[in-house]
Amino acid sequence: MIRFDEVSKRYPGGIEALSRVSFELAEGEMVFLTGHSGAGKSTLMKLVILIERTSQGQVFVNGANLNRIPVRQIPAIRRNIGVVFQNPHLLFDRSVFDNVALPLTISGFGPREVGRRVRAALSKVGLADKERMRPVTLSGGEQQRVGIARAVVNKPALLLADEPTGNLDPDLSQEVINLFAQFNQVGVSVMIATHDLGLVERMGKRELVLRQGQLTEHRPVRLI
Amino acid sequence: MKLSGATVTELGRRDRLGAWFAHHRLVAVSTLRGLLASPVASLMTWLVIGIALALPAILYVLLQNVSALSGQGGSTPRASLFLVQSATIEEAQQLTRNIGQQGGVERTAFISATDALAEFQERSGFGDVLRTLERNPLPHLIEVTLSTADPPVISGLVEEWRGIGLIERVSVDRQWLERLEALLNFGKRLVAALGLVLGAGAVLIMGNIIRLTILNRREEIEIIKLFGGTNAFVRRPFLYSGFWYGIGGALCALLLVQGSIMFLATPLRVVAQSYRNEFVLQGLDWGAALLLCSTGILLGVLGAALAVGRHLSEIRPR
């Protein structure tokens, strides 16, 4: 699903955020990406959704070489990737329903299909009864789950999450990670960046460790 | 290439077209609702655009009226032939008939010195003073309406008339017409220049308003781009806002123009009546009103497009 081939990324000013990173995320796999802040986790994710371009090396997503994707085709690539952030970045001027519906509207779905899919996504994250509410009235954990519903509503093949549990207490964090695991079980490839090592260990999935821009560890799946 | 992925292939071409129209309708309605949600701010913007459009439009309407007025007496010139004091009525009437048969002359009217004096007494208000005069100081007058505006023909006729002993002075109002024509041309240029300057101003104002809207909705734009929204998708609501600002501004301009005309019509009619002229100030016709509306829409959308083009590329997901 994702393949990095000797990828380096230098920002203007000479800072090397990633150096010669290679890894592969198989279709239907779930991995954790760990490392200190500034280790390059966010940069790696930005390369996958084409917010940034590589300085060297190649990135493949879903079979497409991202180096060869012109700006015009970036939206098409992003429509097949769901993204979740530490801060869910919800739009506070509209209802939960409209927030979750956004990716579907972007992709050009008709109103009936939008309604069906939004309700399905909201019930999967346990917020079926909150669709008419404003995000501002929801708790932090609920807001994060709205963000997840928005990321999966388009049924993307790949789900990226950048510190999705950073603002949540341990119980809520576990709940959110379990949600990702459920999506993974139905075939969605998942990559989660986090520094909650305890959580990573409990889940027993493959872990990619970034240290100063280098992928230093590549631990195999450990089952508990 | 599996670029577009499963979600897109599930949508047929017709579904996508339908959804595209549905989205246009949705955006059109929601942007209008957005403007109406803050009526005072929107009204201010509408008025600014309305005034920018109304000023040249009012000038245009006045110009149209003046040129209609100048065309009322026919655009061909008239000549007045003043006869010598010694000319008798019979001589004068005979001359009038002769001139009426000349080529280039459409019709003639004879005004005797007595008639002229009576009219002058009535209209000038010097009736009593004039009555004290021993004899009529006014000459007989032949008014000639020409059938041509061709300068050489007119000059030839004037030369011929000057050679007739009974005629003391020939006066042709051609110069006045030429001056009016020149003034009208000047006015048309003025309207065009004013329209251009104020129109450019309206576009800039529009652009600035849309720029502020874009900055206010920065986060929304970032998220839309992150979830694969195309530039056209992001642009759409802003262009519709420009459309609504433009059409609202044009309607304001229409009200301002028609209001000003109603305001000016009565005093102008009084002025016209003093010149014995049944003059009615004409407002914008349907074609001009339609042109005003489409200009408003064009300015609004253009301003929005300029702002969106400049600022949209700066906003990228972080």
| pLDDT tens column, A168-223 | 888 888 888 998 999 999 999 999 998 888 888 888 888 889 888 888 765 655 55
- Alpha-carbon gap, residue A224 to A222, rounded angstroms: 7
Give B180→chain A minimum CA distance, Å: 58
**Quick one: A130 and A214 in the same domain?**
no
Question: What pLDDT shows up at residue A216?
Answer: 75
Q: Choose among A76, A89, A109: nearest Cβ to B19.
A: A109
Give B252→chain A minimum CA distance, Å: 30
Contact flag A62-B19 (C-beta cutoff 8 Å): no
Name, in order, each residue with C-beta under 8 angstroms of B129's C-beta and a sequence gap of 6 or more. none
Question: What pLDDT shows up at residue B4?
Answer: 41
List, in sequence order, the alpha helices (H) in A108-139. 111-124
**Quick one: A162 and A73 in the same domain?**
yes
Question: What pLDDT shows up at residue B10?
Answer: 52
Q: Choose among A89, A108, A154: nearest Cβ to B219.
A: A89
Contact flag B228-A110 (C-beta cutoff 8 Å): no
> Which position has the higher pLDDT, A136 or B177?
A136
Q: Which helix (H) or strand (E) holds A6?
A: strand A2-10
Structural domain includes residue A86: no
CB A140 within 8 A of CB A85: no
**Quick one: A5 and A37 in the same domain?**
yes
Tell me the pLDDT of chain B (318 aa) as tens digits.
344 444 444 566 777 777 788 888 888 998 899 889 889 989 998 998 999 899 989 888 888 887 776 655 445 677 888 888 888 888 888 888 888 888 888 888 888 888 888 888 777 777 777 777 777 888 888 888 888 767 778 888 888 888 888 888 888 876 776 777 788 889 889 988 988 998 899 899 889 989 998 888 888 899 999 999 888 899 999 999 999 999 999 999 999 999 998 888 888 888 777 776 667 778 888 888 999 999 999 999 999 999 998 888 777 776
**Quick one: A165 and A76 in the same domain?**
yes
Q: Could you tell me which residues of chain A have a Cβ less than 8 Å from any Cβ in chain B?
A: 49, 51, 62-64, 73-80, 83, 89, 91, 102-103, 105-111, 150, 154-157
Question: What pLDDT shows up at residue B5?
Answer: 42
Give B313→chain A minimum CA distance, Å: 11
For B233, name the nearest residue in chain A, comparing CA atoms only.
Answer: A106
Q: Which residues of A touch B8 (CB under 8 A)?
A: 76, 79, 107
A197, two tokens: 């090592």
Closest CA to B172 of B196, B191, B155: B155
Question: What pLDDT shows up at residue A151?
Answer: 93
**Quick one: A4 and A73 in the same domain?**
yes
Domain of residue A70, residue span: 1-80+156-224
Structural domain includes residue A147: yes
The domain spans of chain B are 29-72+181-312, 78-172
For B228, name the nearest residue in chain A, comparing CA atoms only.
Answer: A75
Question: What pLDDT shows up at residue B290?
Answer: 92
Q: Which residues of B touch A78 (CB under 8 A)?
A: 225-228
- Alpha-carbon gap, residue B232 to B239, rounded angstroms: 10
- Alpha-carbon gap, residue A86 to A147, rounded angstroms: 10
At residue A45's C-alpha, the angle toward residues A44 and A51, to 5°, is: 100
C-alpha dihedral (A62, A67, A68, A70), degrees to nearest 10? 100
| CA separation, residue A221 to residues A4, A189, A202, A216 (Å) | 19, 15, 12, 16
Q: What is this model's ipTM?
A: 0.87
Contact flag B20-A111 (C-beta cutoff 8 Å): no
Identify the domain boundary among A131, A155, A179: A155
> Which position has the higher pLDDT, A23 or B172?
A23
Structural domain includes residue A85: no
Contact flag A107-B8 (C-beta cutoff 8 Å): yes
Query: What is residue A51's three-state secondary structure?
Result: coil
**Quick one: A127 and A181 in the same domain?**
no
List, in sequence order, the alpha helices (H) in A39-95. 41-48, 74-78
Check residue A136 and report its DSSP letter.
G
CB A83 within 8 A of CB B22: no
Domain of residue A50, CATH code: 3.40.50.300
Structural domain includes residue A96: yes
Q: Which CATH number is B78-172 given?
A: 3.30.70.3040
- Alpha-carbon gap, residue B62 to B101, rounded angstroms: 39
Specify the residue for token string 């262009």.
B239
For B27, name the nearest residue in chain A, comparing CA atoms only.
Answer: A105
Question: What pLDDT shows up at residue A224?
Answer: 47
Question: What pLDDT shows up at residue A217?
Answer: 64
Q: Which residues of B touch A75 (CB under 8 A)?
A: 225, 228-230
Contact flag A80-B4 (C-beta cutoff 8 Å): yes
Q: Which residues of B touch A107 (CB under 8 A)?
A: 7-8, 11, 228
Query: What is residue A126's three-state secondary structure?
Result: coil
**Quick one: A137 and A188 in the same domain?**
no
Q: Choose among A74, A79, A111: nearest Cβ to B7.
A: A79
The number of distinct structural domains making up chain A is: 2
pLDDT digits (tens, 9 = 90+) for A71-102: 889 998 999 999 998 888 899 988 999 999 99
Question: What pLDDT shows up at residue A95?
Answer: 93
- Alpha-carbon gap, residue A99 to A135, rounded angstroms: 9
- Alpha-carbon gap, residue A160 to A190, rounded angstroms: 6
**% of chain A beyond a pLDDT of 90:** 42
Indicate the pLDDT class of residue A119, thresholds 50, 70 and 90: very high
Identify the domain boundary among A105, A127, A155: A155
Q: Choose among A75, A105, A111: nearest Cβ to B230.
A: A75
Contact flag B7-A156 (C-beta cutoff 8 Å): yes
pLDDT digits (tens, 9 = 90+) for A142-176: 999 999 999 999 889 999 999 888 878 888 888 88
CB A117 within 8 A of CB A104: yes
For B229, name the nearest residue in chain A, comparing CA atoms only.
Answer: A106
- Secondary structure string (H, E, C) spanning chain B: CCCCHHHHHCCCHHHHHHHHHHHHHHHHHHHHHHHHHCHHHHHHHHHHHHHHHHHHHHHHHHHHHHHHHHHHCCCCCEEEEEECCCCCHHHHHHHHHHHHCCCCEEEEEEECHHHHHHHHHHHHCCHHHHHCCCCCCCCCEEEEEECCCCHHHHHHHHHHHHCCCCEEEEEECHHHHHHHHHHHHHHHHHHHHHHHHHHHHHHHHHHHHHHHHHHHCHHHHHHHHHCCCCHHHHHHHHHHHHHHHHHHHHHHHHHHHHHHHHHHHHHHHHHHHHCCCCCCCCCCCHHHHHHHHHHHHHHHHHHHHHHHHHHHCCCCCC
Q: Which residues of B touch A76 (CB under 8 A)?
A: 3-5, 8, 228
